[in-house]
Amino acid sequence: MLLTEQASQRILVLDPRRRHWDPESRPSVVRWQFSPLGDRRYKDLRPGDSWVYPSESKVRRHKGRTYVLTTASFGFAAVVDYPSGKRYWGAAIGPGDDHFNPHSAEILPDGNVAVACSTGAQVRLYAASRGPRASRFADAELKGAHGLHWDGAREVLWAIGDDELVTYAVGGTRARPTLKRRFSVGLPVGTPGKTPGGHDLFPVAGRPGRLWVTTNASVFQYDIGGEVFVQDFAGAEAIARKSVKAVGDDPRTGQVVSTVPESGLEETWWTTKVSVHRPRGEYELVNGGIYKARWFLPR
């Protein structure tokens, strides 16, 4: 299980065989962890300022290697080699404040890296293939940019914002990439008079051609071929609820994990629990401040 854990400012890979995680008393539950704080390989990104409220963690395979992609709300964005922690690429986007609020990242087949900046209303595509400190980028405007997913079958970059789900065509060269909006669809209407509040975007592992989409109001799957948002997936009655920060399924078991905020914690968006669906269950992290949780499934 891969966690974006804000209370301890770490990315954690935890043992899924344990339902009660207490790293202090049982360190063995932590299979792997990452924090750039005190790591010389990330010193130029000023993690003391930029690594505040880690907001994304997801695992990807690229050219035979496994990487963890991560962002933090005060400007940090990086692609981290697993398990060495070596830096493939990283950037500090307005470090020290949430002016841009990097909220998700994605690596493309050519090695470049896209970053969604929610407060900055931008999707940026960095020429990360040029090296770990590459700073050149192309950008496209997207209000409330929150999630990203590279669609290899259609060769487009999906992105979710406050009000819409969009795709971008990637052009130019590896050194000078470009982004051009190709398609957009409005998100399902939530509370009348309020933005739908698009949040998480992730492929449905057990059903290619669909995307998990979360909004302030509920959880949907987007059927790409049919161009329609649906809630016809197994377990929808428990999974589809408001304020879900992350959702994803394991194609081998069909189990779905999700995170929703828990009252009474230091921050209103934190939780100590990861919900499991089909069958229903729960993981708990002692003294946690979990934002997102995903199955550790390199692809």
pLDDT attached to residue 189 = 83
pLDDT for res 225: 97
How far apart CA 294 and CA 299 sit, in angstroms, is: 13
Q: Which domain holds residue 211?
A: 39-258
Q: Are strands 2-5 and 10-14 parallel, antiparallel or unpaired?
A: antiparallel
Whole-number average pLDDT of the chain: 96
Model confidence band, residue 194 (pLDDT cutoffs 50, 70, 90): confident
15 within a domain of the structure (yes/no): no
Distances (CA, A) of 188 to 77, 197, 220: 29, 10, 9
Q: Name the strand (E) or helix (H) holding 70.
A: strand 65-72
Q: Which of 68, 69, 67, 124 is nearest to 93 (CA)?
A: 124
pLDDT in tens, 261-298: 999 999 999 999 999 999 999 999 999 999 999 999 98
Position 64, amino acid:
G
Per-residue pLDDT reduced to its tens digit, 132-171: 999 999 999 999 999 999 999 999 999 999 999 999 999 9
Asked if 286 and 26 touch (Cβ cutoff 8 Å), the reply is: no
176 token code pair: 């000078």
Contact 102, 146 (CB under 8 A): no
pLDDT at 202 exceeding the cut of 80: yes
**Residue 97's CATH number:** 2.130.10.10
* Residue 246 pLDDT class (50, 70, 90 cuts): very high
Q: What is the pLDDT of residue 168?
A: 98
Averaged pLDDT for residues 237-250:
97
pLDDT, one tens digit per residue, over 106-125 is 999 999 999 999 999 999 99
Q: CA–CA separation, 33 vs 167, rounded Å? A: 32
Asked whether the predicted pLDDT for residue 299 surpasses 90, the reply is: no
In a domain, 285, yes or no: no
Task: Compute the average pLDDT of residues 3-23.
Answer: 97
Whether 82 maps to a domain, the answer reads yes
Q: 23-27, 55-59, 190-194: lowest mean pLDDT where?
A: 190-194
Percent with pLDDT over 70 in the chain: 99
Q: Which amino acid is at 136?
A: R
- The number of CA neighbours under 13 Å toward the Cβ of 229 is 18
Position 290 in a domain? no
The predicted structure's pLDDT at residue 115: 98
What is the rounded distance in angstroms from the CA atom of residue 244 to the CA atom of residue 269? 10
Instruction: State pLDDT tens for residues 37-72.
Output: 999 999 999 999 999 999 999 999 999 999 999 999
Residue 59 contacts residue 83 (beta carbons within 8 Å) = no
User: pLDDT at position 193, please?
Assistant: 66
Nearest to 79 by CA among 54, 4, 87: 87
DSSP code at position 15: -
pLDDT band at residue 97 using 50, 70 and 90 as cut-offs: confident
CA end-to-end distance (rounded Å), the chain: 15
CA distance 270 to 265: 7
What pLDDT, on a 0 to 100 scale, did the predictor assign at position 98?
A: 87
The pLDDT assigned to 293 comes to: 98
Distance CA 287, CA 5 (A): 10
Per the domain annotation, does 9 fall within a domain? no
Q: In what order do the strands lie in the sheet with 219-223?
A: 201-203, 210-214, 219-223, 228-230
Q: Is residue 286 part of a domain?
A: no
Residue 183 falls inside a structural domain: yes
Residue 284: inside a domain, yes or no?
no
User: Please, what is the Cα angle at 124 between 121 and 128, to 5 degrees?
Assistant: 160
Which pLDDT score is estimated for 192?
65
Total domain count, the chain: 1
Stated as kind and residue range, the H or E segment containing 103 is strand 102-107
Q: What is the mean pLDDT of residues 78-105?
A: 96
